Amino acid sequence: MNDLSRIQSECIHTTDDAALSSRLLRGGRIVLDRDALLRLRHARLLSQQDLADDCWRRNIRVSLPTIKRAERGRAVRFRIARELARCFDVPVVRLIAP
């Protein structure tokens, strides 16, 4: 299964698969919405370290450097987007940069 078909199958919540696939970068990487990530983290009153620790406790594989990278607007693997969405209990498409 290629990256695009895997992403489309994992993003059942979206009605616009073309918009999602157009945001996928080479190597299965995607840029996340910095503001959305910050809002979600701040709404839970978590520091970046607290979020990383919470992910670790919940067996969600997202490290502190990865959280920092995503919040700086740098591309991350789609797996990270999926794991962060799971951590925040939101659909993946809510985290993807417009």
Taking only the tens place, the pLDDT of each residue in 41-91 is: 999 999 999 999 999 999 999 999 999 999 999 999 999 999 999 999 999
For the entire predicted model, the pTM comes to 0.74
The count of other CB atoms within 10 Å of the CB of residue 65 is 10
**Residue 57: predicted pLDDT:** 94
pLDDT beyond 60 at 40: yes
CATH of 29-98, one of 1.10.260.40, 1.25.40.80, 3.20.20.80, 3.10.310.30: 1.10.260.40
Q: Please identify which residue in the block is written with the tokens 């999926």.
A: 82
The average pLDDT across 28-45 equals: 93
**Residue 98: predicted pLDDT:** 83
**Residue 50: predicted pLDDT:** 96
Q: Please identify which residue in the block is written with the tokens 């994992």.
A: 10
Alpha-carbon distance of 14 to 68, in angstroms, equals: 26
Query: Does residue 29 sit in helix, strand or coil?
Result: strand
* Three-class SS of 75-90: CEEHHHHHHHHHHHCC
